[in-house]
């Protein structure tokens, strides 16, 4: 999501200024174009050269210098930014911003910003606890500025309290969330299912499949990065829950069905990437099954088809996307599923192809639309496949 985004990073003069270098480096590493504005006192703690080396861009310090990339840095750095971040923000800067003062490049640029502005205060704990600082923050929050609170911990001055600049990871998360709010899915709620369900045999064993959950998680992340509210109903995987996504963990197909039906009324788009077990044990043993016999016969009964149920109860305006994992007759099997389950789009893949299907980081899929159109996508990262699927969803919704 950070790829190609223009981020203006303001650095003020606090001991945490050095941590802004890590932030600049991480943002740059994720593909963002980072443009740094330093206040005069920030220059007492860290040299502009550090940021220039880390971002590959000139660093701006002076309101009156017309050099560098931009003719009017305070206007250009504010106007072109997708998001503006001030980290660390001193009590002095908060005071100036809260009262509309603009006496240097950073305060002027923040005042000129029309994009979201994220402020990350850092200062001594007594300063942070001072009512005047609190009032300034409350006032700025009312004006629509966003904040990442400082953390509690040992301070450079040796005291323990709240005032340390938030962790880089936390600030990165807040930036991502702000950028997501501007995406092309910002008015949509997307319900995604992922992972392979587990159908219990006894308290220690279960039947499952090879799904890793990667495709579903990539979809959840991609939709979130484009501004959607995302609800991820996930069967067990080894993956960390995507940041910002409401994740509901389930085990069996029955539990997945229950969760999907609970959230279905809120969803505009449902993407069923989960590999739902088609059968479950007719009887789940209460105690662990002992290896008494030479053979063990499990009786399996059919699970409800969640997607087919959604298709039968499809609401006006909902877009339903299914997956079909096939090992032969890909297109024919996929088209049958699309029709039978009343879907708008089916993502079909031949799981026997190298680079496609279960556990891999890449996929080769065919998108089959309800109107009959089919589109072959080449081998690509699952995150890119996810974006192509979301592009298709938006196209379907536009052409309704
Ligand atoms: N699906 C579902 N509930 C099930 C089985 C499947 O919601 N009980 C969904 C999957 O999440 C997927 C789509 O249906 O989006 C297709 O799943 P797949 O297993 O390929 O197809 P099936 O309809 O189960 O047919 P078959 O296993 O016979 O190929």
pLDDT at residue 68 above 60? Answer: no
**Architecture of the CATH domain 6-179:** 3-Layer(aba) Sandwich (3.40)
Average pLDDT over residues 224-250: 92
Nearest to 247 by CA among 278, 277, 275, 224: 224
Give the Å distances, CA to CA, from 319 to 85, 98, 117, 235: 36, 45, 34, 22
pLDDT value of residue 144 = 93
304 C-alpha to ligand 1 centroid (Å): 10
Nearest to 147 by CA among 181, 184, 174, 185: 174
Unique residue bearing structure tokens 């003069």 = 13
- Ligand 1 binding pocket, CB closer than 6 Å: 253, 272, 274, 276, 278, 303, 305-307, 322-325, 337
pLDDT at residue 66 above 70? Answer: no
Query: For ligand 1, atom 23, which residue shows the shortest CA distance?
Result: 337
Q: Which CATH number fits domain 184-398: 3.90.190.20, 2.40.110.10, 3.30.200.20, 3.40.50.10300?
A: 3.40.50.10300
pLDDT, averaged across the chain: 94
Give the three-class secondary structure for 175: helix
- Entry pTM: 0.77
pLDDT at residue 219 above 80? Answer: yes
Instruction: Name the β-bridge partners of 6.
Output: 33
Give the Å distances, CA to CA, from 168 to 171, 240, 303: 5, 18, 45
pLDDT digits (tens, 9 = 90+) for 331-371: 999 999 999 999 999 999 988 888 887 888 999 999 999 98
Report how far Cα 119 is from the mean position of its chain's Cα atoms.
Answer: 20
| Pocket probe mutation, ligand 1, options 232, 276, 314, max atoms within 8 Å of Cβ | 276
6-179 and 184-398 share one fold: yes
Helices (H), the chain: 17-29, 42-45, 48-55, 73-79, 91-98, 105-112, 125-129, 131-142, 168-180, 214-225, 253-263, 306-312, 330-340, 382-398
350 C-alpha to ligand 1 centroid (Å): 14
257 C-alpha to ligand 1 centroid (Å): 12
Average pLDDT over residues 247-265: 98
271 C-alpha to ligand 1 centroid (Å): 12
pLDDT digits (tens, 9 = 90+) for 141-167: 999 999 999 999 988 888 899 999 999
According to DSSP, residue 264 is labeled G
Query: For ligand 1, atom 17, which residue shows the shortest CA distance?
Result: 324
Query: For ligand 1, atom 8, which residue shows the shortest CA distance?
Result: 305
Average pLDDT over residues 64-73: 66
Q: Is 157 a catalytic residue?
A: yes
Domain boundaries along the sequence of the chain: 6-179, 184-398
| Pocket probe mutation, ligand 1, options 196, 323, 357, max atoms within 8 Å of Cβ | 323
Those residues with Cβ within 8 angstroms of residue 237's Cβ, 6 or more apart along the chain or in another chain: 194, 195, 211, 212, 213, 214, 217
DSSP line for 14-64: STTHHHHHHHHHHHHHTT-EEEEEE-TTHHHHS-HHHHHHHHSS--B--TT
């Amino acid at each position: 999501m950070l790829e190609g985004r223009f981020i203006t990073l303001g650095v003020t003069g606090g001991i945490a200024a050095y941590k802004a270098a890590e932030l600049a480096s991480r943002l740059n590493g994720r593909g963002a174009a980072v443009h740094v504005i330093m206040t005069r006192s920030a220059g007492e703690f860290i040299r502009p050269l550090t940021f220039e080396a880390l971002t590959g861009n000139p660093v701006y310090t002076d309101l009156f210098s017309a050099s560098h990339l931009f003719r009017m840095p305070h206007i250009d750095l504010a106007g072109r930014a997708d998001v503006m971040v001030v980290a660390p923000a001193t009590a002095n800067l908060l005071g100036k911003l809260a009262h509309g003062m603009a006496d240097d490049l950073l305060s002027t640029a923040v005042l000129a910003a029309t994009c979201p502005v994220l402020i990350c205060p850092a200062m001594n704990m007594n300063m942070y606890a001072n009512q005047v600082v609190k009032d300034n923050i409350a006032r700025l929050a009312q004006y629509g500025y966003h904040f990442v609170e400082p953390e509690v911990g040992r301070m450079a001055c040796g005291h323990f309290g709240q005032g340390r600049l938030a962790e880089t990871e936390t600030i990165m998360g807040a930036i991502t969330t702000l950028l997501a709010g501007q995406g092309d899915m910002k008015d949509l709620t997307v319900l995604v299912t992922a992972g392979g369900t587990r159908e219990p045999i006894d308290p220690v064993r279960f039947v499952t499949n090879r799904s890793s959950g990667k495709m579903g998680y990539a979809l959840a992340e991609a939709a979130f990065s484009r501004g959607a509210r995302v609800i991820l109903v996930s069967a067990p995987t080894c993956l960390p829950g995507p940041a910002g996504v409401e994740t509901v963990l389930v085990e069996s197909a029955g539990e997945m069905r229950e969760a999907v039906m609970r959230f279905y009324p809120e969803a505009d788009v449902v993407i069923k990437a989960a590999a739902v077990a088609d059968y479950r044990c007719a009887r789940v043993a209460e105690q662990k099954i002992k290896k008494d016999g030479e053979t063990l016969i499990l009786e399996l009964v059919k699970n409800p088809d969640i997607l087919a149920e959604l298709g039968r109860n499809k609401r006006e305006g909902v877009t339903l996307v299914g997956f079909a994992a096939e090992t032969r007759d890909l297109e024919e099997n996929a088209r049958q599923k699309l029709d039978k389950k009343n879907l708008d789009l089916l993502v079909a893949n031949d799981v026997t192809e190298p680079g496609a299907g279960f556990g891999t980081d890449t996929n080769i899929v065919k998108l089959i639309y309800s109107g009959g159109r089919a589109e072959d996508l080449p081998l690509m990262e699952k995150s890119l496949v996810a974006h192509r699927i979301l592009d298709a969803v938006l196209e379907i919704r536009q052409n309704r």
